[in-house]
Chains A and B, each alone.
Chain A
Amino acid sequence: MEQVIMNQLSYPILSTVIFLPVLGAVLILLSRRSWEPSAKWIALGTSIATFFLSLPLFLNFDKSTHKMQFAERFSWIPEWNINYFLGVDGISVLFILLSTLTAILCVLISWESIKMKVKEFYISILLTTAFMIGVFCSLDFFLFYLFWEAMLIPMFLIIGVWGGPNRIYAAIKFFLYTLVGSVLMLVGIIVLYLYAGRTFDILELMTKNYPYTMQMWLFWAFFAAFAVKVPMWPVHTWLPDAHTEAPTAGSVILAAVLIKMGAYGFLRFSLPLFPEAAKAMTPVMLVLSVIGIIYGAVICLGQTDLKRLIAYSSVSHMGFVTLGIFALNSQGLEGGILQMLNHGIVTGALFLSVGIVYDRTHTRQIADYGGLASVMPVYAAFFMVFTLSAIGLPATNGFVGEFLILLGAFAANKLIGVLACTGIIIGAAYMLWLYQRVFFLEINNKIAGLPDMNVRETITLLPMLILVIWIGVYPNAFLSFMHASVQHLLDRVNSGGMQEASIAKTLMEVVR
């Protein structure tokens, strides 16, 4: 049986969305330095073109199958059996779209705030985008690892060159933290390669069964890479520094896409490759997730820096994601995937929003704000919607994701579910308190007379706002992508679909 559906479109869509940004980067490189706006315009044009070329992924996606679609496969290094092998399924397709959308917004939000080394900045942004998309659609471990590591370099530069005062420390911390995890994963990949008879083909590797002890070792090796990226408690401390010091576009990429890769890794590799180990380790993962949720939320109450607060809230929100994934039922998994998307949208939007005021005030201290709702009412309205989504209010996307995750977690383990619910209370507390300190009360002199958002900034935030409401009101448009793939994943993990069936069975027994 053929495992994949080859690309049927008139152009190789996945290669196009990966390499178009690279092409844009080369063009910027070749452009004349004397006319600097050329870099911006090339970056904007490339990212918009990439986004539109990626749309068929959304429109032409076959939702009825779990198989990899839009696949492309060429032999690359035949001596080592390495292939250039791309494809997407219901788990990864949405993240490619999120990446291409984020790229546009990152270019737009940096339009005026980046004044130094402009060409290099947009080259970095475009390359990061290309590599991130590559990570999400690689089906060959070698190719995957290549993209996974390559992405660190432009990201490292974005933080280290265009960041805040403490950028060097943050950049190196980010780099080393993630590298240490990745190297362990590399060892794991090589072990798999040798064990499975010299193949890097992810789909082929997934069909094999590995001894339990080996699964256990490999699970932890991969865990090291993914947990750092997520970031799970207690390996989260790179995140606040990186987010805080990075320029706005860097924070947005980090929040919207980069940290999704960890959770994506759990879904794509840890669960299907090592199902028994994953199941055995579920309690540990659930406990770590809940600690992350509560810890991240409580620590937000003690923050005085806008970006740092949002960064810590990411720890809490990503705790929900891993909680959903390791609930190992369809509600939890689909909620987890949706929440990854939601978090990308909302936290990305929050960082964009912070960037908008930061460009005006050049301060991130919450105490320097106050009364902003009177000064910038439109901005305040946008920020309010994102705040509401972050605290999971119904009719926003945050609610659908969190609800499904909590439902799944509650079905898996009641205590875990109840504890995770407390994260929602604290979440409301810190976000509303933040909103009050920044937007309400009397107008702080430091921000009096600021202009409200201009057209460019409004356009930047508008797609996020639409997505927040769209997913909140009609989540099936997105959930329907996942059903087949998630079901397939669950079948693989449960090998016989035990858990899902048993839940349904107990339900019926209870009713009777």
Chain B
Amino acid sequence: MKYYLLIPFLPLAAFMINILLGKEVLRDKAHWPSILAVVGSWLVTITSVLPQVMAGKIINEDLYTWIVSGTFNVSVGFLIDPLTAVMLVVVTTCASLIHIYAVGYMHGDTGYYRFFAYMSLFTFCMLMLVMGNNFLQLYFGWEGVGLCSYFLIGYYFDKKSAADAGKKAFIVNRFGDFGFGIGVFMIFLTFGTLHYTPVFGNVAGIAGQTVNFLGWNVDLPTLIALLLFCGAVGKSAQVPLHVWLPDAMEGPTPVSALIHAATMVTAGVFLVARCSPIFNLSEVAMNTVAIIGAITMFFAATIAITQNDIKRIIAYSTCSHLGYMFLACGVGAYGAGIFHLYTHAFFKALLFLAAGSVIHAVHTNDIREMGGLKKYLPITYAVFVIAGLSAGGFPGLSGFFSKDEIIWSAYASHSSVGKFVWVLAVAGAFFTPLYTFRLIFLTFHGKHRGAHHGEQGGHHGEHHIHESPKVMTIPLMLLAVGAVAAGWVGIPPILGGGAHFTEFLAPSVGHPEFHGTHAEELGVMALSTGIALFGLGLAAFLYLRKTDLPEKIAKTFSAVYNVLYNKYFIDELYNFTIVRPTVWIAKNVLVAVTDAKIIEGIVNGVPGAIGRFSGKLRRVQTGLAQHYGIMMAAGAVFIIALVLLLR
């Protein structure tokens, strides 16, 4: 029995039900089909698929033939191997909890059914993405999740900023997909198929081959890998296509948690891990992945320190953690990258949902208007701290194990690029707790700074702030368990664990060979942990003790601060170099000149010229009968003369 088919198609069914019946029939019960479907998917994953995969069985079956043309033939099919299984667990678990949370968060919203319909559609697309057994189905899911992301970011579509953000996310992703699409074409031209098994089976044959691409002779594996990586950069919000993710926070918070933290944005990492046989053939591509990842990680972390929007801070944190994952893939430690993907899904979803709980209570995103919320939101505060510690790599929690494995892999890869990214990774380990705890201290500690409450008269206003309902806090607590314990499946041998996680993944993504002594490994671990604790301490010092110091620092280094606060002016750069010129050309060159003047000039000019010529010619027609008579007579004489002369 193909039970696994239920996993993607249950959410699809929920989507259909909600889109057809949600508005008129289900109304405020619209969450039921979606929740039942996603929990059903989760149950099938846990009870049926996961045990099979753990027993070493790999499912690879075609459902039906999708497109056939000439030698091109691609199916809708499913591949479930360890990598897919991990993704299934991550997606269905997070999606289930977030769906339940959303019942409370979205309560009373006018578009309630619409929200759950999109969420189900998203879950379907994400599951198709990870379960596909060929590149085209991957692309299907890829675009599908992008679409749902567009819908959900622009969920409050009457707000211009939300509508703009959705559009921006879609179009920026299209830039990445442009490369991805060409990569898929190159794969077809090279291998004659798009199915994973034959492609990866024949991949050794293309090692070292060069191909002429747009006039350059390039290494074939490098070309394919980098083109695919373009798509990953867009989807996973890496530099230089990261600009859409912070804006995507315009969407409702459960969306940010599900799509922009736990699942969709990690699709890029999944892609790189899935295509590891191709990436492994190209050192250039691997180094690019590592360096892009490291740069994004560092760059996003520095921005996060200066932001004031609670969700944007977490969004930059997501960018940064995704950078870690790419960094791991780039040094060949795909297992570590996916491990971090897995733990990150829990603690980042938790951070977002907890932030959502805060927003739900105070109705603002600006941390400058929060403060002192600890006593009103005890559960939220507790889980926020757990998530923060896990994200910051506090020993013993999920995030610690995965981050440590990445940092160790970078160190132990023993290449110059590996060393470079290792330095950045350690620096990033300093920033992560710094910005996370800056956020926590500013939100929960100190005095409440909410302006609107103050006007209503101090304490009186603050009493309106209350903890979220159980339907929201229970998913928070469950996720908190994950943020603490999810990483325990991958405890490294040096700490007495079995590194089960990477062993489990080895059939899909291989096993990196790193060499290093135990002493080195412990040293690296101690260094990054120490640095993380230092970051935490600094945050406590700056935002609990000397609360006036951050402002002074910002004033002293105002140039640096402004660059960071304005996100390195990347948005402005794109706006002035790409967006505006294109629209300007469309309006002022193509519409006004090329079409209106040149082409229409010719089109209307030819009849015009004919008109002018005939205007001259018509003067022959005087309207006087006698002139015509003379013409006739002259013509007759001429013809007769001609006949006589030529005879």
Contacts and interface: CB of A to CB of B under 8 A. Distances in A.
> Do A and B have CB atoms closer than 8 angstroms in the complex?
yes
Given A330-B69, A404-B67, A414-B213, A302 B147 contact: no
Interface in B582-640: 582-583, 585-588, 590-591, 594-595, 599-600, 603, 607
Contacts of B213: 414
B583 A302 contact: yes
Main secondary structure of the interface of A (DSSP, over half): helix
Contacts of A483: 68-69
A397 B215 CA distance: 33
Contacts of B181: 406, 421, 424
Interface in A462-512: 474-476, 479-480, 483, 487, 500, 503-504, 507-508, 510-512
Contacts of B154: 436, 440
Interface in A193-216: none
Interface residue tally on A, bucketed by range: 35 or more
B171 A418 contact: no
Nearest to A330: B70
B492 to A, nearest CB: 39
A336 B235 CA distance: 29
A421 B192 contact: no
A268 B32 CA distance: 54
Interface of B: 19, 23, 64-72, 136, 139-140, 143-144, 147, 150, 154, 157-160, 163-164, 167, 170-171, 174-175, 178, 181-182, 185, 188-192, 202, 205-206, 209, 211, 213-215, 220, 582-583, 585-588, 590-591, 594-595, 599-600, 603, 607
A53 interface: no
B68 A479 contact: yes
8 interchain residue pairs of minimum CB distance: A330-B70, A302-B586, A302-B587, A301-B586, A394-B140, A440-B163, A440-B157, A507-B192
Nearest to B213: A414
Main secondary structure of the interface of B (DSSP, over half): helix
A417 B184 CA distance: 12
B611 to A, nearest CB: 13
Contact of B158 (A371, A414, A426): A371
Contact of A441 (B64, B163, B588, B595): B163
Contact of B69 (A335, A440, A507): A335
Contacts of A504: 71, 192
B501 to A, nearest CB: 32
Given A414-B213, A507-B192, A511-B192, A374 B158 contact: yes
Given A373-B157, A432-B170, A331 B147 contact: no
20 contacts: A177-B603, A295-B594, A298-B590, A299-B591, A302-B583, A371-B158, A374-B158, A388-B147, A400-B67, A414-B213, A417-B182, A417-B185, A424-B181, A474-B64, A476-B68, A480-B68, A504-B192, A507-B192, A510-B209, A511-B190
A442 B160 CA distance: 8
Contact of A298 (B68, B167, B582): B582
A13 interface: no
Given A394-B140, A428-B170, A428-B174, 15 more contacts: A177-B603, A237-B603, A298-B586, A299-B586, A394-B136, A406-B181, A411-B185, A421-B178, A425-B178, A436-B164, A441-B163, A442-B158, A475-B66, A507-B190, A511-B205
A170 to B, nearest CB: 13
A356 to B, nearest CB: 19
Contact of A301 (B174, B583, B600): B583
A414 B224 CA distance: 14
Nearest to B590: A299
B70 A331 contact: yes
A389 B205 CA distance: 37
A507 B190 CA distance: 5
A177 B586 CA distance: 25
Contact of A429 (B171, B205, B594, B600): B171
Contacts, number: 167
A411 B189 contact: yes
Contact of A425 (B144, B175, B202, B220): B175
Contacts of B158: 371, 374, 440-443
Nearest to B602: A234
B69 A410 contact: no
Given A237-B603, A414-B213, A404 B586 contact: no
A425 B174 contact: yes
A395 interface: yes
Contacts of B72: 330-331, 404, 407
Contact of A234 (B159, B214, B599): B599
Interface string A222-254: 000000000000101110000000000000000
A393 B151 CA distance: 14
A154 B164 CA distance: 43
Contacts of B189: 410-411, 503, 507, 510
Contacts of B64: 474
A500 B583 contact: no
A473 B9 CA distance: 14
A415 B214 contact: yes
A475 B76 CA distance: 12
B174 A424 contact: yes
A472 to B, nearest CB: 10
A300 interface: yes
Interface string A376-408: 010001000000100001110001100110110
Contacts of A303: 591
Contact of A334 (B69, B202, B209, B591): B69
Interface in A329-346: 329-331, 334-335
A259 to B, nearest CB: 17
Contacts of B594: 295
A153 interface: no
B144 A395 contact: yes
B135 to A, nearest CB: 11
A511 B206 contact: yes
A365 interface: no
A299 B586 CA distance: 5
A233 B219 CA distance: 36
Contacts of B220: 510
A424 B69 contact: no
Contact of B595 (A299, A373, A407, A418): A299
Given A237-B595, A301-B583, A425-B175, A436 B167 contact: yes
Given A302-B586, A329-B70, A504-B192, A425 B171 contact: yes
Contacts of A300: 586
A146 interface: no
A121 interface: no
A436 B64 CA distance: 36
